[in-house]
A and B are shown apart, each in its own frame.
Chain A
Amino acid sequence: KQEVTQIPAALSVPEGENLVLNCSFTDSAIYNLQWFRQDPGKGLTSLLLIQSSQREQTSGRLNASLDKSSGRSTLYIAASQPGDSATYLCAVPDNYGQNFVFGPGTRLSVLP
């Protein structure tokens, strides 16, 4: 059964810093991995989808990488801003079904 972990659980950085969020998954036979953003009490906003054939995907200040063989993905946020403060979730397909398995998230606070 697919298990997803994320470290750190929480991160607080001053504005302007570059930062890396980590996601690990146990079953490396995945077709894709999705990163989401969740603001407190709100829904899930898809940030990036990386297909298994890709190693990286970029959107603005966000860059996500995928290393299937090691069961890891990282989300790199450049020049962080207070508006980036949110919880970041990664999710991978459960290969025995059609659903996504979510990690617990990293709660990011960017201080002005």
Chain B
Amino acid sequence: EPEVTQTPSHQVTQMGQEVILRCVPISNHLYFYWYRQILGQKVEFLVSFYNNEISEKSEIFDDQFSVERPDGSNFTLKIRSTKLEDSAMYFCASSGGPGQLYEQYFGPGTRLTVT
């Protein structure tokens, strides 16, 4: 069964450093998402991406964040100048159609620890 994959599974970085989290969505999906979950809190939406551009972003997704689909398979989340409060589990998801209508498939997550 097709699945969303994410690398790395765990990333430790120092405050102020840049990190890139990688995702490989399901191959025939067109819509891509990033969510995050701070320990003990709800899963929160960050950004959605369609047709090589951001279609929606939350208040959390400020200028330190960016997303990119550098090739036909990868979808990346870049965090510039990480802060302690960026420590969280980051989930990538993809869907075959618009998120309101279609099931979203989630990856296993990347645990980001900022020290």
Considering residues A36, A42, A102, A104, which has the most beta carbons from chain B within 10 angstroms of its beta carbon?
A102
What residues of chain A lie closer than 8 Å to B56, measured between beta carbons?
A: 97-99
Q: Do A103 and B42 touch (CB < 8 A)?
A: yes
Interface residues of A in 97-112 (CB under 8 A from B): 97-105
Chain B proximity of A39: nearest CB distance (Å)? 11
Q: Which one, B42, B48, B103, contacts A97 given CB within 8 A?
A: B48
Chain A proximity of B52: nearest CB distance (Å)? 15
Query: Would you call A89 an interface residue if the criterion is a C-beta within 8 Å of the partner chain's C-beta atoms?
Result: yes
How many interface residues does A have (CB within 8 Å)? 25
Q: Which one, B31, B48, B100, B104, contacts A95 given CB within 8 A?
A: B100
Task: Bin the interface of chain B by size.
Answer: 20 to 34
What residues of chain B lie closer than 8 Å to A105, measured between beta carbons?
A: 42
Query: Would you call A41 an interface residue if the criterion is a C-beta within 8 Å of the partner chain's C-beta atoms?
Result: yes
Distance, CA A32 to CA B105, complexed state (A):
14
* Nearest B residue (CB) for A30: B100
Chain B proximity of A101: nearest CB distance (Å)? 7
**Which 5 residue pairs of A and B lie closest in terms of their CB atoms, listed nearest first?**
A98-B99, A99-B45, A43-B108, A93-B100, A102-B43
> Which A residues form the contact surface with B (CB < 8 A)?
30-32, 34, 36, 41-44, 46, 49, 89, 91, 93-95, 97-105
